[in-house]
């Protein structure tokens, strides 16, 4: 039985440690690297010659979906498996588009997680079945890239002038994008639109 070398990326040390302990009980799985930031994954994966990266979504430095895209582009033989608390259909769709080989939630039983790692390593795609169904019924992300950009900044409560400065657009154009995003999310304010879009995994 050949060894599968794993990297764990999660900003919560306790979760990382628990995952490492569980996966290390499997005779063919070896956790060879652990990082707490998204922007540390690529170097660590290269340095430890890993086969599969298990990525959380919400991490400092870069989120798991961005990291999956980077690994896919820079280390095409390395597989990525998103393991997250945030089982949102929009996240699943974005992760698959970014090149992730799998997407499971953190309360997946240990044996199933180990099996997911093996299947991803073998070149198969593993998707949490409940999320897959939700993703199909939820449809695609209706927001354009610009609408996502302005809503992401609006999430922190930034005024229109500040959003405009950050995205290098006029305040009027930003208002138009915000207005369109508010309409698409069915919200009443830009803050509410940003929260809804985040909850649905569209940002």
Share of the chain above pLDDT 90, in %: 63
Spatial CB neighbours of 118, under 8 Å, sequence gap ≥ 6: 4, 28
Q: Which residue has the higher pLDDT, 85 or 168?
A: 168
- Sequence-ordered strand ranges (E) for 40-182: 52-55, 79-84, 102-105, 126-127
The confidence band for 110, taking pLDDT boundaries of 50, 70 and 90, is confident
In the prediction, which pLDDT does 150 show?
94
Mean pLDDT, range 14-28, rounded to an integer: 93
Distance (Å) of CA 24 to CA 61, 68, 118 = 27, 23, 13
Q: Which residue has the higher pLDDT, 130 or 80?
A: 80
Q: Does 1 have pLDDT greater than 80?
A: no
**Structural domains in the chain plus CATH codes:** 4-138 (3.40.50.2300), 145-199 (1.10.10.10)
The confidence band for 196, taking pLDDT boundaries of 50, 70 and 90, is confident
In the prediction, which pLDDT does 132 show?
67
Q: Does 135 have pLDDT greater than 90?
A: no
Mean pLDDT, range 123-137, rounded to an integer: 75
In the prediction, which pLDDT does 85 show?
83
Q: Which pair of tokens denotes residue 95? A: 């992760």
The pairing of beta strand 79-84 with beta strand 102-105 = parallel
Q: Does 181 have pLDDT greater than 70?
A: yes
- Note whether 122 and 31 are within 8 A (CB): no
Q: Which pair of tokens denotes residue 153? A: 């900044």
Q: Which residue has the higher pLDDT, 113 or 135?
A: 113
- Sequence-ordered strand ranges (E) for the chain: 4-9, 29-35, 52-55, 79-84, 102-105, 126-127
**Dist CA 43 CA 41 (whole Å):** 6
Mean pLDDT, range 13-39, rounded to an integer: 94
Other beta carbons within 10 Å of 131: 20
Q: Does 30 have pLDDT greater than 90?
A: yes
In the prediction, which pLDDT does 96 show?
84
CA angle 71, 72, 76 (to 5 degrees): 100
Mean pLDDT, range 62-83, rounded to an integer: 94
The confidence band for 133, taking pLDDT boundaries of 50, 70 and 90, is low
Distance (Å) of CA 1 to CA 24, 27, 116, 118 = 15, 9, 17, 11
In the prediction, which pLDDT does 138 show?
58
Q: Does 61 have pLDDT greater than 60?
A: yes
């Amino acid at each position: 039985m050949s060894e599968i070398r794993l990297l764990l990326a999660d900003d919560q040390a306790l979760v990382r440690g628990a995952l490492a302990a569980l996966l290390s009980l499997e005779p063919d799985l070896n956790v060879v690297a652990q990082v707490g930031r998204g922007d540390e994954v690529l170097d660590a994966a290269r340095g430890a010659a890993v086969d599969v990266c298990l990525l959380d979504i919400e991490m400092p430095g870069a989120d798991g979906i961005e990291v999956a895209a980077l690994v896919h582009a820079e280390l095409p033989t390395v597989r990525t498996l998103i393991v997250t608390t945030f089982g949102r259909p929009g996240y699943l769709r974005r992760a698959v588009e970014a090149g992730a080989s799998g997407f499971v939630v953190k309360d997946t039983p240990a044996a199933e997680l180990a099996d997911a790692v093996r299947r991803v390593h073998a070149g198969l795609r593993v998707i949490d079945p409940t999320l897959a169904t939700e993703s199909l019924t939820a449809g695609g992300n209706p927001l354009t890239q610009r609408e996502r950009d302005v809503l992401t900044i609006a999430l922190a409560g930034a005024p229109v002038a500040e959003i405009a400065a950050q995205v290098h657009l006029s305040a009027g154009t930003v208002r138009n994008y915000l207005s369109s995003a508010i309409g698409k999310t069915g919200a009443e304010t830009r803050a509410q639109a940003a929260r809804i879009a985040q909850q649905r995994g569209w940002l």
